[in-house]
Each structure stands twice: as structure tokens, then as C-alpha cells.
Amino acid sequence: MSAATAAAAHRVAVTGLGVVSPHGEDPQDLLAALLRGESALRPVFPELARPAAAATVAFDASRWFTKLQLAGVDRVSQFAVAAADLAVQDAGGLGDAAPERVGVFGGCGMGGATALEAAYRAGMATGAGRVPPLTVPAFMPNAPASHVAMRQKAQGPVLTYSVACASSAVAIAEAAKAVRRGEVDVAIAGGSEALIVPGVVMAWQAMQTLAAFPAGDSRAAAAAVKPFAADRSGFALGEGAAFLVLESEARAKARGARAHALLTGWGHSCDATHLTKPEAAGQARALRMALQAAGLAPSDVGYCNAHGTATRIGDPIEREALAQVWGDGLGRLKVSSTKALHGHLLGAAGALEAVITVLALANRQLPPNAHCAEPDPACALDLVQPGAVEAPELEAAVSSSFAFGGSNAVLLFQRA
């Protein structure tokens, strides 16, 4: 075996991309909408005491399920099945991979919120505590990955990672490790989340983390999330799913598959200090680990799809973490948070933003950091401006996901 062949056997290629997003199901259309700065955020649940915005998905379940199949299948699993199927189609299928050599690695933060809320409402409404009998298998967090496995006939490891906002980024990294170690030939990795229901929105409102805007003002709702801006006030929830097909570069070449990018580095760390307040040192450790795994210096990376939740506490800490790693070179790192446009998908955020990062890298076009008219001096970064999207020399990019619980996950992609 030549040195080049041996190297290709250990490099992980991204050969399939699939999304069910607030901006649609076509990855290139998703990127185009982001490049135009189109926001999917809209007001939701006007009956709530405080106004809330969210990014929802226009989804036709009948394209993927019969009426009989939908029994006990929550929206979160419907999204996952569709996105994973689209990713496999984009990869040109799974080749000759034996079923036991195909793994599913899914991230999900909150499970079937729709099923759970419906069960509570039904139980209280009847007064007899009667809830749908399939409520438990509908809302369990591992249901999305299990449904993907059944649909794709994957008989290898089928694992679910529930690590809050880092869930699907962790899932993708763990899938890449399994591919690199030869534990699976193909990994279907990503995440799904569907939590736009009144109870969940009210719970996030109680934490005072959601973006504020005047009630009934749709235009203000669309621009309510302002990452790194001086007047930021929080994030808005989003829903959807995103999956990637991962396999060794050598296998992809052997079957004539296109590689969108290479996943060459990943880093995990835990702050181990506070359940909800992030720490720059922990985030910096994950960033350094991803760079080290890829064998790159900070100067080799030209773009960061930031976690960027537009919270008062989170954004300056993320900036500090980047400064700790990039040092004097921070001003040459382009940064944007796409949550301003598609919302925060929690357990699926890392996967959707990984897809966006891969697309940005492959097209050498960077999505803007929207709605940031006046950056916060405490968040001094080279933020991607609307219209300034071309990056002709971009060779590597990172996607960061920093979660409640102090868990940090970073994915590093390079051009194929």
C-alpha cells in the first residue's frame, strides 16, 4: 500500500448531505438563502404572555411515511428519517456496504416534544390520565436514530448522543472516529430536533435566554437574533434535522463518490465549572484539540461557524476562547453565526451548522453574521458582513457547538 493510499484510508470524507431545515430541503438552496441573509424566524404562539419567535419547517410527512407508519412517530423522528434519506441519496447510496457495517450516530437534545406535550394535554383534558399508548417510544431521545436505522437497514452501531446544544456535533465526531478506526464502513451521522411547542418555548422564556421583540411585529421577529451585536438579547428556537454520510476517503474514491469535504479534526471538552454558564478555557481546549487532530495551525483555518447564541454572557466568552487559540491572528479569522437566520436547533444545531460549514468550504462562500449593525466591543471579531461572501483561498473551516452542561464540541473540515 502506497503512502497516499494509506493516508486516504484514514481520512474521513463527507460524501452525503441531507437537511430538513427552516430554509428547505436542498443544501445549495439553504446556503443561497443564508448568503442572501434571509431569516426564517417568525412570531409563534401569540397566546403566550410574552412574544416569541421561532424558525419552523414546512414538512410533508406523507412523502416519507404512510398514514399507518406515522403512528407513534414524532415530528423529530420524521425529520431525521427524511434528512438521513436525503443524505444517503446525495451520497449515491451506500455502495456495497454490508448492513452490519453501517452505523447511525444521532444527536437529539430533547426528544419528541410534540408527543410529550400532546400526551400531557390529553391526560389532563380527559381527567382520567389517558394518554396515547405509543407516547413513550415517540418521545424517547433515541427514537430518531432508531427510525433512521430501520429505514436504511443499518445493523451496525446505532447510537444517540444527548449533550444539549452539542449533541449532533458530538454524534458526527464519534461517527468519524468509528470510520477512522474501521469499526464501520459507512456512518450516517447528524441530529434532529422538533421542539416548537408552547410548553418548551415557555420553559426557555423562563430562563430569559430568548430574543426580545415587540409583540405582533413580524419584521422585528425576523431580525430579533443578533449574534455578537451590542443590542443582542438572546436566541430564537428552530427545528429541523441534518445528516452527513461519512466514509473513508479511500472507499469514496473506490466507488466513485464525490467528497464534499474531509472531516479531519474534532475536539471535545467539558468546562466542569457550571451547568449553564460557559467558560472560555474549556471552549479553547476543544478548539485546540480539533486543530491538533487535523495537524493544522490556527492560521490554516479561514472561517469559523460560531456557536453564537446572541446571549449577553455567551458571545463574549466565545470570542475570548477564539482569542486564546488564534492570538494575534484572530483578526484574519472570518466568523459568523448562522443562528440569526435559521434559529437555534439545540440538539440538531451542530449537524445543521456542520452542513453549512461544509457548503461554505466547498463553495468558498461565507454566510453573513446577520443583524449585527453595531458589534459589541467585547465581541471584537472579523465578522462576515452581508454581501462580503467570497473566500477564494478558503481551505479549512471549523464549526463550534457549546452546550449547557459545559460540554464543548468542535468539528474541523478541509476541502476535499
Residue of 307, 342, 371, 372 marked active site? 307
Question: Which segment of 3-17, 228-242, 256-270 scores lowest on mean pLDDT?
Answer: 3-17
Q: What pLDDT score was predicted for residue 21?
A: 98
Per DSSP, which regions of 21-135 are E strands?
41-44, 52-55, 102-107
Q: What pLDDT score was predicted for residue 122?
A: 81
Q: Cell match 468542535: residue? A: 410
Residue of 23, 108, 165, 260 marked active site? 165
Q: What is the mean pLDDT of residues 319-340?
A: 98
Q: Is there a catalytic annotation at residue 165?
A: yes
Residue of 342, 344, 371, 372 marked active site? 344
How do residues 163-184 score in pLDDT, each as one tens digit?
999 999 999 999 999 999 999 9
State the Cα–Cα distance between residues 100 and 159, nearest whole angstrom: 14
Instruction: Single out the residue of 331, 309, 319 nearest to residue 280, CA to CA.
Output: 319
Listed in sequence order, the DSSP H helices in 141-196 are 143-152, 167-181
DSSP state of 61: G
Going by pLDDT thresholds of 50, 70 and 90, the confidence category of residue 87 is very high
How do residues 97-130 score in pLDDT, each as one tens digit?
999 999 999 999 999 988 888 888 887 776 667 8
Domains and CATH numbers, the chain: 9-254 (3.40.47.10), 265-414 (3.40.47.10)
- SS3 call for 246: strand
Q: Is the per-residue pLDDT at 4 higher than 70?
A: no
Strand duo 407-414 + 261-270: pairing: antiparallel
State the Cα–Cα distance between residues 77 and 144, nearest whole angstrom: 4
How do residues 17-51 score in pLDDT, each as one tens digit?
999 999 999 999 999 999 999 999 999 999 999 99
Going by pLDDT thresholds of 50, 70 and 90, the confidence category of residue 132 is confident
Q: What pLDDT score was predicted for residue 8?
A: 62
Share of the chain above pLDDT 70, in %: 97
The DSSP code sequence of 343-404 is -B-GGGHHHHHHHHHHHHHHHTB----TT-SSB-GGG--EEPPTT--B-TT--EEEEEEE-T
Cβ atoms of 350 and 172 within 8 Å: the answer is yes
Q: Is there a catalytic annotation at residue 304?
A: no
How do residues 268-312 score in pLDDT, each as one tens digit?
999 999 999 999 999 999 999 999 999 999 999 999 999 999 999
> 412: part of which helix (H) or strand (E)?
strand 407-414
Q: What pLDDT score was predicted for residue 31?
A: 98
State the Cα–Cα distance between residues 246 and 241, nearest whole angstrom: 16
Residues 6+ away with beta carbon under 8 Å from 87 = 16, 17, 18, 188, 190, 243, 244, 245
Q: Is the per-residue pLDDT at 2 higher than 70?
A: no
Q: What is the mean pLDDT of residues 379-401?
A: 96
Going by pLDDT thresholds of 50, 70 and 90, the confidence category of residue 250 is very high
Number of H helices, E strands in the chain: 14, 14
Q: What pLDDT score was predicted for residue 116?
A: 86
Q: Cell match 484572530: residue? A: 330
Q: How far does CA 297 lie from the centroid of its chain?
A: 24
Q: Is there a catalytic annotation at residue 342?
A: no
Strand duo 261-270 + 12-20: pairing: antiparallel
Q: What pLDDT score was predicted for residue 347?
A: 98
Bridge partner list, 311: none
Cβ atoms of 248 and 262 within 8 Å: the answer is no
Q: What is the mean pLDDT of residues 250-274?
A: 97
The DSSP code sequence of 206-239 is HTT-BPP--TT-HHHHHT---TTBTT---B-EE-
DSSP state of 173: H
Measured between alpha carbons, how far is residue 257 from residues 92, 241, 248, 323, 410 in Å?
Answer: 7, 23, 11, 38, 26
Residues 6+ away with beta carbon under 8 Å from 255 = 92, 95, 96
Q: What is the mean pLDDT of residues 210-234?
A: 97
State the Cα–Cα distance between residues 346 and 332, nearest whole angstrom: 29
